[in-house]
């Protein structure tokens, strides 16, 4: 652990996203497809808005766990127990939601893929830093926790976390997290 890398410079990810956003804006300004039928447009807008709200809530929830511990502690509980990168996961949902406001499924895919590629670059840099800083602890965490897509069955909380959600009897998704009878 003597060779600890510097934390990943977010400037690269931010500049890549700025360039991609600028390119997307330019493409939107000079191209357009036929207008979508009103129902399709409304579905895109509602789903996009819902995705944006999910992203805001999810990022807030994730920040609750990481807080000011980002470069001082390996956080492996809360939202970080079900995915190693919940902030990027929820950001991708939000980016897809913003892209959905265009009404183009093609643009949703293209913009979300571009953001994923920028985030992938950041995740690789962050993983190298965490591996150099935390060694075997991070390697075990990487082995047991998905990189991006959450696995709710892996949920782990901590007793000293205020406002912590409790795992339902039987676990998440194992029947214990279903709606009460008659509430659907």
pLDDT tens per residue across span 118-171: 899 889 989 999 999 999 999 999 999 999 999 999 999 877 665 555 555 566
Q: Where are the alpha helices (DSSP H) in the chain?
A: 10-30, 38-66, 86-100, 105-134, 136-144
* 162 vs 62, higher pLDDT: 62
What pLDDT, on the 0 to 100 scale, is given for residue 184?
Answer: 39
101 and 44 Cβ atoms separated by less than 8 Å: yes
pLDDT band at 181 (very low <50, low <70, confident <90, very high): very low
pTM as predicted = 0.75
Domains and CATH numbers, the chain: 36-152 (1.20.120.1630)
What pLDDT, on the 0 to 100 scale, is given for residue 183?
Answer: 40
What pLDDT, on the 0 to 100 scale, is given for residue 68?
Answer: 77
Task: Give 8-58 pLDDT, tens digit per residue.
Answer: 566 776 777 778 777 777 766 666 666 778 888 899 999 999 999 999 999
What pLDDT, on the 0 to 100 scale, is given for residue 2?
Answer: 57
What pLDDT, on the 0 to 100 scale, is given for residue 52?
Answer: 97
Select from 61, 63, 86, 70 the least CA-distant residue to 148: 86
Q: How far is CA 136 from the centre of its chain?
A: 25
What pLDDT, on the 0 to 100 scale, is given for residue 71?
Answer: 73
């Amino acid at each position: 652990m003597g060779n600890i890398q510097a934390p990943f410079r977010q400037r690269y990810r931010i500049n890549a996203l700025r360039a991609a956003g600028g390119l997307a804006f330019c493409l939107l300004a000079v191209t357009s497809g036929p207008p979508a039928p009103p129902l399709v447009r409304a579905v895109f807008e509602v789903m996009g808005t819902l995705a944006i709200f999910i992203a805001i809530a999810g990022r807030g929830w994730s920040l609750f766990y990481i807080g000011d511990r980002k470069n001082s502690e390996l956080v492996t509980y809360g939202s970080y127990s079900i995915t190693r990168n919940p902030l990027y996961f929820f950001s991708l949902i939000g980016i897809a939601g913003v892209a959905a406001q265009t009404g183009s499924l093609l643009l949703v895919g293209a913009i979300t893929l571009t953001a994923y590629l920028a985030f992938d670059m950041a995740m690789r840099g962050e993983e190298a830093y965490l591996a150099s800083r935390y060694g075997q602890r991070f390697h075990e965490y990487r082995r047991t926790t998905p990189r991006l897509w959450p696995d709710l069955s892996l949920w782990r909380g901590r007793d000293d976390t205020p406002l912590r959600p409790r795992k339902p009897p039987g676990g998440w998704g194992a029947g214990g997290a279903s709606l009460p009878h008659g509430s659907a």
